[in-house]
Structures are given as C-alpha cells and as structure tokens.
Amino acid sequence: MRVNTSHNDDITCLDLNLTKGLVATGEMGRWPSLVIWDSNSLETKTVFAKKLERNISNVAISRSGKYVAASSMNDKHEIAVYDIANNSLVAYGQGPRSVIYSIKFNQSED
C-alpha cells in the first residue's frame, strides 16, 4: 500500500482533479495543513499552513488545477484561496455565519 504521509493529524476533507492529477486534502487541528499532492506518484506538491484556524471542513481544486480553496470550522468559517503553482495566498476572508457544507469554483474561474 502506498500513501501520502504529509499530514500530522486526521484528514477531514478531500478533492480530486484527475485531469491535472492533483489531490487536495485538509486536516483537523488548531492550525491545520492543506496538502496538495500528485495522484499518481503521491508526491507532495505544496503544503499551505498557519492561515486557517481549527479544522479544514472543505477543499476544492479549480478545473485548471491552478487554484485551491478551503474553508475552516472555526466560528468565523474562514475561506482561503491559494495559487498552487506560486505557493501563495490569493484571497482570504470570513465566511457566512452558517456552517459551510461545500465549496466549488465557478466553471470560468480562470
């Protein structure tokens, strides 16, 4: 059995972009990590950490494979969007007061 071992805590969510061969997984924890990895080699592409607080509830990879979005389970339901290739934060803010059950990119996001 082969697995990606980049997480330090339980995985709470996952999204796949099979056309780009990417997997995004989010974990639980006070400062959880969002790991982007190759679906074939299981090699970690990048890790985003120390921005979202208290468990990642949802992740979504854009159709182009350029961006990944994630939301947190804290009281502010924070949302962050990252540029995967540039390993950078693109957008960050407080989400709605209600629980976020899923996130996705618009078909024409890039």
CATH classification of the domain holding 17: 2.40.10
* 84 assigned to some structural domain: yes
* 5 assigned to some structural domain: no
> So what's the pLDDT on residue 1?
58
10-residue averages of pLDDT along the chain (110 residues):
77 94 95 94 93 93 95 93 96 90 78
Range of the domain at 30: 11-93
Q: How many domains does the chain have?
A: 1
Interatomic CA distance for residues 96 and 110, integer angstroms: 24
> So what's the pLDDT on residue 35?
97
Q: How many CB atoms lie within 10 A of CB 37?
A: 20
> So what's the pLDDT on residue 106?
83
